């Protein structure tokens, strides 16, 4: 039986993004074909991938959770996360990061072979005949009701839309740009393609374990113009990354992105052989124990437009981050979730068959990009900033690395890491398996949090109104009648606080009570106790909630922040 040559959705790339999309489409009943240029699915290229809660939840929805979790053999992946300086000395340490992640969002971070995840996604498919290998595309055409993909050595394939999940060197993106340049030259700015920057390169590898490397750990090692990420791997191995800044930024795509030989890889490794990684381990020893290692350039970009006509790109084909954050694959999974949601929403009310008209597809693609682009840009910027700090490649980054990072608490570290997962997308039509956790993704809350800019504006306005009311009430109550009841003798003032403005506010509240109650008490004891009795529950709630890490900087935290400030003033 000959393999199929038509599907509603053609997916180019048997990558994490491509096979995850295949799984999602299969589960919602949308026909697809995966076209992979390699002769096999999941080739062993010696690469690893980090899975964080934002991507893990989507994989869980697809039914891959147990297969991934089993790789840890019932243990947490990481018992400790450390950050070290260039001498290998620990400057920051976080115990039980995996447990904390799991308790808060239901999923721990885990690093596995990229090949392992692709194999899990492939094995999870019910109909594997829809995944074709040794298919290298040469040309793409858009037709009235679909697309046609021509290949170099085989049959052509047709579909109603085409998804490029084929990485930073995407052939689909190149063909999409060619079509647009002929039909609508201003659709994709030429300058943007020429300005894609590559500032770093990286040797990423897998090594046999070393007695000098702490098991079940993730460790960042800072350096001058370079940095490391070294993490424990399944099978008693170690994943590692040596990031190094280029002498000069390279700009452009495809042929302009640097390619490196094994000799250049070995030369770079030799230059850093004596770098201290901590606990007596140097990079040279880790490199000697290598099982696989590859040197690659690290372009960084979020393209301004990801789609044209019936063609769209996802994953690294649409946005590429520095891998130090471990968010590249997870962001690709979020792309899959949002794109699947949009395609599923095209189903007609009658037969639930996707209605892939030109207008509907354009609308769905535009929605997908609108929902994903800003978050992808945030991820790219945070990844770039993280790399800059780790490699101390500027004066500001060096100052942060040397003087601010050592002061960070576990909560600061977790807050920064978990913050990249909370606003993640999911597959709206598929159930999320129950994974107990006490924090929440944004889509689990009754309402999504306000955007950062809006939230800051609301805070400023609220603070302004609050302090304005205090000022007005103080001015109105301080007029002569406060200290003289019905023209009688003056009411004695008391000192409640050592700070004059604070004492004035407390006196205003206490001294005004006799006018309302007729009670005469020169010491104002009962009035002050009465005022505290109704203030105490409010202040207690604000004080406790204000100390929670998650509410720092919010309106409810003003009392705790103010208390710290007043205490510091005496």
DSSP secondary structure string, 484-496? BGGG-SBPPP---
Q: What is the pLDDT of residue 486?
A: 43
- DSSP assignment string, 186-200: TSS-HHHHHT-EEEE
Q: Which pLDDT belongs to residue 72?
A: 84
Please report whether residue 288 resides in a domain. yes
Q: Which of 397, 418, 444 is the last residue of a domain?
A: 444
Query: Bridge-partner residues for 158, per DSSP?
Result: 6, 148
- Work out the burial of residue 2: count CB atoms within 10 Å of its CB; fewer than 13 is exposed, 13-18 middle, 19 or more buried: exposed
Long-range own/partner contacts, residues 123-127 (CB < 8 A, 24 or more apart): 123/67, 124/23, 124/62, 124/63, 124/64, 124/67, 125/19, 125/22, 125/23, 125/26, 126/26, 127/26
Of 42, 29, 9, the C-alpha closest to 149 is 9
Which of 395, 415, 444 finishes a domain? 444
- Provide DSSP, 399-431: HIIIIIGGG--HHHHHHHHHHHHHT----TTSP
Question: Nearest-5° angle of CA 335, CA 253, CA 370?
Answer: 30
Give residue 58's domain range. Answer: 7-444
- What CATH code is carried by the domain that includes residue 330? 3.50.50.60
221 and 283: one domain?
yes
Q: Let me know if residue 1 belongs to a domain.
A: no
Residue 316 phi/psi, 5-degree rounding, is -60, -20
Q: What is the pLDDT of residue 533?
A: 77
Q: Are residues 538 and 401 in the same domain?
A: no
Length of the chain equals: 570
- Residue 568 has, within 13 A of its CA and on its CB side, a CA count of 6
Closest CA to 54 of 107, 14, 95: 107
Any domain includes 2: no
End position of a domain, from candidates 388, 409, 444: 444
Q: How many domains does the chain have?
A: 2
Ordered per-residue pLDDT tens for the chain, 570 residues: 567 888 899 999 999 999 999 999 999 999 999 999 999 998 887 789 999 999 999 999 999 999 999 998 778 889 999 999 999 999 999 999 999 999 999 999 999 999 999 999 999 999 999 999 999 999 999 988 899 999 988 799 999 999 999 999 999 999 999 999 999 999 999 999 999 999 999 999 999 999 999 999 999 999 999 999 999 998 889 999 999 999 999 999 999 999 999 999 999 999 999 999 999 999 999 999 999 999 999 999 999 999 999 999 999 999 999 999 999 999 999 999 999 999 999 875 556 666 888 999 999 999 999 999 999 999 999 999 999 999 999 999 999 999 999 988 888 888 888 889 999 999 999 999 999 999 999 999 887 666 665 667 777 787 788 777 767 666 655 444 444 444 444 455 555 555 677 666 666 655 555 555 555 555 556 666 767 777 778 777 777 776 666 666 666 666 555 655 445 444
Whether 348 and 372 map to the same domain: the answer is: yes
Same domain, residue pair 343 and 462 = no
On whether both 465 and 490 belong to a single domain, the answer is yes
531 & 418 share domain = no
């Amino acid at each position: 039986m000959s393999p199929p040559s038509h599907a509603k959705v053609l997916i180019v790339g048997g990558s994490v993004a491509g096979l995850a999309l295949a799984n999602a489409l299969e589960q919602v009943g949308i026909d697809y074909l995966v076209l992979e240029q390699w002769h096999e699915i999941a080739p062993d290229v010696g690469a690893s991938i980090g899975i964080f809660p934002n991507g893990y939840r989507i994989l869980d929805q697809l039914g891959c959770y147990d297969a991934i979790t089993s790789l840890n053999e019932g243990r947490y992946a990481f018992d400790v996360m450390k950050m070290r300086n260039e001498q290998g000395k620990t400057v920051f340490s976080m115990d039980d990061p995996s447990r904390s992640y799991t308790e808060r969002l239901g999923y721990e971070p885990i690093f596995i072979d990229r090949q392992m995840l692709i194999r899990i996604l492939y094995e999870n498919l019910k109909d594997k005949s829809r995944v074709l290998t040794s298919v290298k595309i040469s040309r793409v055409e858009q037709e009235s009701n679909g697309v046609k993909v021509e290949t170099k050595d085989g049959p052509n394939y047709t579909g109603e839309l085409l998804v490029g999940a084929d990485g930073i060197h995407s052939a689909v993106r190149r063909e999409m740009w060619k079509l647009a340049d002929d039909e609508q030259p201003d659709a994709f700015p030429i300058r943007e393609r020429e300005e894609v920057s590559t500032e770093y390169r990286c040797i990423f590898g897998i090594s046999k374990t070393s007695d000098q490397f702490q098991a079940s750990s993730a460790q960042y090692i800072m350096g001058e113009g370079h940095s490391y990420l070294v993490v424990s791997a399944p099978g008693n191995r170690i994943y590692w990354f040596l990031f190094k800044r280029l002498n000069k930024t390279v700009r452009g795509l495809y042929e302009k992105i640097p390619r490196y030989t094994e000799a250049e890889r070995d030369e770079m490794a030799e230059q850093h052989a004596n770098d201290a990684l901590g606990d007596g381990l140097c990079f040279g020893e880790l490199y000697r124990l290598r099982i696989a290692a590859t040197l690659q350039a690290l372009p960084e970009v979020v393209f301004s437009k990801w789609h044209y006509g019936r063609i769209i790109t996802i994953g690294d084909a649409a946005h590429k981050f520095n891998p130090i954050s471990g968010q590249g694959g997870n962001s690709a999974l979020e792309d899959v979730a949002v794109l699947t949601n949009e395609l599923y929403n095209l189903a007609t009310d009658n037969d639930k068959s996707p209605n892939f008209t030109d207008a509907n597809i354009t609308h769905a693609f535009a929605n997908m990009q609108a929902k994903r682009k800003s978050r992808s840009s945030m991820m790219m910027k945070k990844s770039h900033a993280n790399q800059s700090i780790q490699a101390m490649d500027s004066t500001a980054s060096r100052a942060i690395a040397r003087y601010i990072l050592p002061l960070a608490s576990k909560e600061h570290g977790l807050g920064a890491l978990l913050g990249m997962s909370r606003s993640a997308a999911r597959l709206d039509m598929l159930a999320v398996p129950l994974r107990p956790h006490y924090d929440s993704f944004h889509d689990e809350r009754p309402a999504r949090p306000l955007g950062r800019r809006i939230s800051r504006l609301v805070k400023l306005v609220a603070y302004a109104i609050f302090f304005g009311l205090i000022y007005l009430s103080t001015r109105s109550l301080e007029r002569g009648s406060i200290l003289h009841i019905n023209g009688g003798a003056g009411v004695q003032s008391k000192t409640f606080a050592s700070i004059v403005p604070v004492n004035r506010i407390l006196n205003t509240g206490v001294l005004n009570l006799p006018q309302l109650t007729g009670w005469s008490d020169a010491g104002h004891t009962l009035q002050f106790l009465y005022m505290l009795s109704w203030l105490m529950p409010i202040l207690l709630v604000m004080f406790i909630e204000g100390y929670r890490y998650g509410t720092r900087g919010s309106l409810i935290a003003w009392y705790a922040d103010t208390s710290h400030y007043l205490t510091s003033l005496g």
